[in-house]
Structure 1
Amino acid sequence: MSDTELREHIHKVSQWLGTHYFVTPSARALSPRLDMTIAFNETSLPGAKTITAISGANGVGKSTFAHSWAHAYHRRKVAGLKLRNGFPQLDVRGGMADAVPVVWLNLQAQAKIAELDVQILNYLGRGLSGTIRDMTLRAVRALEDHRVSVLVIDDVHLLKLSKSSGRDVLDHLKHLNTELGEVGGSMVLIGANLESTDLVYDPQITARLQLHNLQPLGATTAQGRSRWKDTVADMEADLLPLLPHAKAGQLTQNAGALHDLTGGYVGELATMLKQATVAALLSRTGLIDLDLLRQLPVSYRAERATT
């Protein structure tokens, strides 16, 4: 390729890498568990449903996994629906409404009930005027009108139950779970190290909670090293078509060095390998070797873990 052609090619590769999700062994194991819980909630008797929680260290890939799962779930739910202006539509009380199988909220620090309801109404394109109680009623009605099957709330570790406002929001989440449950909907909570927060000690939450934990993959045990190597191998398989001089297994041979460079965090591994792919194309070698990997920037966390 000429320099111009190479730049254009790298731009296209970078666009693909930016949106690509590496399906890791951990994600492959968690997805069917989440699918099963959601499917059971859809068909079980009305009322409060099982709550799925995804916990783990910061940057371990919780939200990235959940986004990928939610996109796939959304596509399955809207398949076959009629479209209006490119959006899947539903018949609702004699009118039409957008089908929104998944609502995703990022919980704000010091959030209050009204702010949570505003996020729901904003997500669904509804009006925001009225009292707090009015907005709660409209938020619940909107969830029903748009046939929301899954309400995902990220960063729930920001919920401070030591404050009255935090306790109020937790009670509101339980209310939303009950309202969703009346129409077969589910709630998914995501947060850092939830098992060490007050959230898991709430009796109503724990009675319905299924907690899944994603953690960095260790290198001190044979099982941990095997899982890490499998993760690297899966990512390598996705990248091979982009690397003209690479052969299967070459990158996996450097699994140990990659663990040292990333601290065992899957998210940081994915970022490093995407950057390495672009660097390999820029160098015209089309190959990711150990020398190239060691030239790439590493996160402060990974750097600190190896010093």
Structure 2
Amino acid sequence: MDARLWHQQATTPARALPTPVTVEAFDDMSQDSQDTYWEHLTSAMAGLVLPSVLAQDAAAQLTRLVHRNQLRPPGAKAIGSVSAPFAVGKSTFVKDWAQAAYRDLLGPALSDPRPTWNPEPGVTADWIPQVYITLRAASKIRDVLASLLLTMGYPSEGLVRVTTTRVVHAFRQHGVRLLLIDDSHFLDVSNKDSRDMLDFLKYLNTELGELGGTMILIGADLHESPIYLDPQINSRLERLTLTPYPLTGEEDMRTWSRFLKDAEGVLLPYFDCAPAGVFSRQHAGHIWRRTQGYVGDTALLLTQALLAAFDDGSDTITTAHLDDVALSARAAAGEAELRKAPIAPSRRRSLKVTVT
């Protein structure tokens, strides 16, 4: 991603939810006021990110990693990795975390559309403390280098040894301290090129570490990648695995209920006639069956069910409201699988009496 676009995304706030209006107060508003409030509410909820205890714990782990690397001596540092199944929301999570850190780091410079700094006396350069790239299928070393250079505004043509030197110079010139490589499962680590690619990643980590920086690899199911099998990389790797909310034991149930209760704190002020616990107690199991604990699907389900209940004049949110929300194909397939009732084994053998 181009550094200017990254800066723009980090500095453009998502549309905030309106000040809550009780259902009774809404009914007393003029039609124009109702229409304005409804448009604001529906559009803001479409982009709503619900608070997640699992995401908060993961964000704290990444923050600790970056902070420790800043305190360590120059040289190769610990490498972060964020792995997750498809559709868990790993890219959204990493971008939210990194851009929050970006805003904190820039401080007053955040208002500048093109922040600058002085890498050395008498030299002014664009300040690009974070670089985020997304890889394409079967990316080779030259593809990674090209993405890095284009992100920082440099020409990407040239021999690999030339563009590698250019990247390292750009890291120093622009104050890069965090390198995020998304879709790292697309790195070409085939038998022929795997050693070169793995050595290249180690080289990038060392050069970034000389600046006190951190490299984080993001990808789908990275535990199956040769990246995790390289002894040198593995010795420096701090793995973070994101998962949907599981529901296999009492502790999982408590964590899921807490997530839904936190969601109620955000959503129910906009539908105050619904009883407390409508999500976290009354419909917790049903919501999990529909979404299998995937946060993105759950956010869509809760917001759209609430809006539907509000719109049709209901005074609570029912299973019918939840069932009417169309979710992803993944969620639909998962729900269908869960709804397949297991066939009970025959009791004939246990009841059969041997005749003597």
TM-score (norm 2): 0.79
In structure 1, the partner of 2:117 is 90
1:62 paired residue number: 90
Does the alignment pair 1:294 with 2:323? Answer: yes
Quick one: which of 162, 166, 174 aligns to 1:146? 174
Task: Confirm or deny that 1:241 pairs with 2:269.
Answer: yes
Residue 236 of structure 1: SS of its match in structure 2?
A: helix
Instruction: Go from structure 1 to structure 2 and tell me whether the alpha carbon gap of 1:244 and 1:83 turns closer, same or farther (over 3 Å shift).
Output: closer
Counterpart AA for 2:149 = L
Residue 265 (structure 1) aligns with: 294
The separation in 1 between residues aligned to 2:72 and 2:272, in whole angstroms, is: 51
CA distance in 2, matches of 1:293, 1:218: 20
**Corresponding residue of 2:70:** 42
Structure 2 CA distance for aligned equivalents of residues 167 and 14 of structure 1: 51
Counterparts of 2:248 and 2:110 in 1: how far apart (Å)?
Answer: 53
Residue number in structure 2 paired with 1:306: 335
Paired residue total: 306
CA distance in 1, matches of 2:322, 2:84: 26
CA 7–281 in structure 1, closer or farther in 2 if over 3 Å, else same: farther
User: Partners in 1 of 2:47 and 2:246 — Cα distance?
Assistant: 27
Larger Rg: 2
- Give the % identical residues: 34
- In the alignment, which of 128, 131, 139 is matched to residue 100 of structure 1? 128
C-alpha contact 1:111 1:166 (8 A) present in aligned 2: no
- Which deviates the most, 54-63 or 94-103? 94-103
- Where does residue 25 of structure 1 map in the other structure? 53
C-alpha distance after superposition, 1:211-239 (max 9, x if no partner): 11111222231111111111111222122
Q: Is the 8 A contact 1:22 1:235 kept in 2?
A: yes
Q: Distance in 1 between matches of 2:34 and 2:189?
A: 54
Q: 1:126 to 1:218 in 2, by over 3 A?
A: same
Secondary structure at the residue paired with 2:326? coil
Match of 1:174 in 2: 202
- With over 3 angstroms needed to count, the CA separation of the structure-2 counterparts of 1:134 and 1:7, relative to structure 1, is farther
**Relative to structure 2, which stretch is displaced further, 75-84 or 173-182?**
75-84
Gaps of 5+ in 2: 1-28, 337-356
Task: Kindly indicate whether the alpha-carbon contact (under 8 Å) linking 1:232 and 1:255 is maintained by their aligned counterparts in 2.
Answer: yes
Q: Is this contact kept in 1: 2:140–2:197, CA < 8 A?
A: yes
